[in-house]
A = this chain, B = another copy of it.
Amino acid sequence: MPSRRADPVTVEVVELIGDVVARYHMEYEEAAARHQLTGAQAKVLTLLSLEPLPMRRIAQKLRCEPSNVTGIIDRLETRGLVERRPDPADRRVKLAAPTEEGAETAERLRESLDFAREPLAGLTSEERTALRDLLRRMLG
C-alpha cells in the first residue's frame, strides 16, 4: 500500500506525466482522424503493418476481449484497409493483414504522428539522451 505522502518533486513529475499523456492522446486521435480512423482502428492498423496477426493476438496487444477485435477488423476490412487470411498451420485461426492501401495508410499515419518529435527538438542532444535514460529507469 504505497500511500505514503510523496515529496513535492514526485508530485510535480506525476502531474507533468499526466500532461504528457493528455497531449499524446489528443495528438494521436487527431492524427487518426486525419485518416478517417478511430484511435483503436489506427492502433490495430499500425500493429498489423509490422506483421499480420491472429485475432487472438490482436486482443492481447490491445488488452481487450477477442470479441471486440471482430468488430474493429470488420470496419477496417469494410474500408479495404485490412483482410482476413487463413492460417495454413491452424484452420481455426484467421490472420489479419493490411492490404496495400492499408499499408500505405499506416505509413502516412506514422509520418503524421509527430508527437514529441517537435517538442523534443527544443532539447539539446544531451538532454534528449538524459531524458531517455531517466524514462528507461523509470519504466524498469
Nearest Cβ on chain B to A75's Cβ, whole angstroms: 22
- Indicate whether A89 reaches chain B with its CB closer than 8 angstroms: no
Contact B119 A2 (CB under 8 A): no
Chain B CB count within 10 A is highest, among A13, A125, A139, A140, for A13
**Within the assembled complex, what's the spacing in Å between the Cα atoms of A16 and B116?**
11
Main secondary structure of the interface of A (DSSP, over half): helix
A111 contacts across to B, CB distance below 8 A: 3
Closest partner residue, chain B, to A124 (CB atom): B137
**Within the assembled complex, what's the spacing in Å between the Cα atoms of A18 and B23?**
11
Residues of A within 8 A of B (CB-CB), count: 46
Contact B20 A135 (CB under 8 A): yes
- Indicate whether A17 reaches chain B with its CB closer than 8 angstroms: yes
Interface residues of A in 124-140 (CB under 8 A from B): 125, 127-132, 134-140
Per-residue B-contact encoding for A109-120, CB less than 8 Å = 1, 0 else:
001101111111
- Indicate whether A71 reaches chain B with its CB closer than 8 angstroms: no
11 cross-chain CB contacts under 8 A = A3-B111, A9-B125, A9-B128, A10-B121, A13-B116, A13-B131, A19-B135, A20-B21, A120-B138, A130-B134, A131-B138
